[in-house]
Copies of this chain bind each other. A is one copy, B any other.
Amino acid sequence: MNRALKITGATRLYPIIGDPIAQVRSPETITEGFGTKGMNAVCIPVHVPVDRFDVIIPPLLALGNLDGLLVTVPFKARMLPFANRLGTTAQSIGALNALRREADGSWTGDMFDGHGFVRGAQRKGENVGGRRVALFGAGGAGSAIAFALADAGVRSIHVIDTNAERSAALVTKLRQAFQEGSFTPATEMPGDADMVVNASPIGMRVDDGMPGAIPSLSAGTLVGDVVITERPTALVRHAIAGGCDFVDGRDMHAGQVDAITSFFASAAKTATD
């Protein structure tokens, strides 16, 4: 951070809520994003104990200088009823990770996990349009990324998950939401894939291998991995070995900071206390 953070009485609040909370990065990264946009605003960690969620959230939203909220595990689905309107991704997935107060006092929510991934790729000069994607993981992150990739115009997505019902359910939702693009549940990576994305937790532990059987990759293949680790995951090392470009968890987070601070800033322009 090259700007000195300064909190004054006039600073606007954008808490990130979760349980636990100590591991989140947004207080640093989103606050830096606000600084870049010239907003006198701060993202603070707010630990909402899971059994007190319903009593804490309504009064939290009633604070006079709270203009938005970031949402992490385990509240991304439970926050839905607090939004007066939802972006298309949040609506399709049934979860949100950002909520902003509009000038009229109403709340708009959307899900940026997937947009963050796509924007993170774009920040590195990558184009995802037209690609044939093998996506490992059909949970929350996988669903958000699938929707963002479909929205960005990929040609096809094969969804691979150890839970076959979950991959089938995601494919059904994708087919309902998008006219274009081919979406298929799969048990292994298709031979013609030119993009491989891990949206499963595999890679978080130091001794984890790859999220599935992945052959040697040609240099034109784009690799993505949502996992944030100190050292590259097995999948990212595999990408490097193949000479492939890659988008890792940090790139995705940087893309999210862009997407979410833009989402907040566009409402903040007209908001009043």
Binding site for B on A (CB under 8 A): 1, 4-11, 13, 16, 19, 21-28, 31, 42-49, 52, 55-56, 58-60, 62-66, 273
Dominant secondary structure at the A interface: loop
Given A21-B65, A65-B21, A45:B8 Cβ within 8 A: yes
CB distance B48 to A52 under 8 Å? no
Q: How many copies does the complex hold?
A: 2
* B28 touching A48, Cβ below 8 Å: no
> Which of the listed residues A9, A13, A23, A31 has the most CB atoms from chain B within 10 Å of its own CB?
A9
Contact of A9 among B7, B22, B60 (CB under 8 A): B22
Residue pair B19, A64 in contact (C-beta under 8 Å): yes
Name the residue of chain B whose CB is nearest to the CB of A7: B27
Q: How far in angstroms is the closest Cβ of chain B from A11?
A: 6
Say how far A63's CB is from chain B's closest CB, in angstroms.
6
Chain B residues whose CB sits within 8 angstroms of the CB of A16 once the complex forms: 9
Report yes or no: A8 in contact with B21, Cβ–Cβ below 8 A: no
Our pick among B8, B31, B44, B60 for the contact of A28 (Cβ within 8 Å) is B8
The complex places the Cα of A9 from the Cα of B65 at a distance, in Å, of 20
Whether A45 pairs with B59 at a CB distance below 8 angstroms is: no
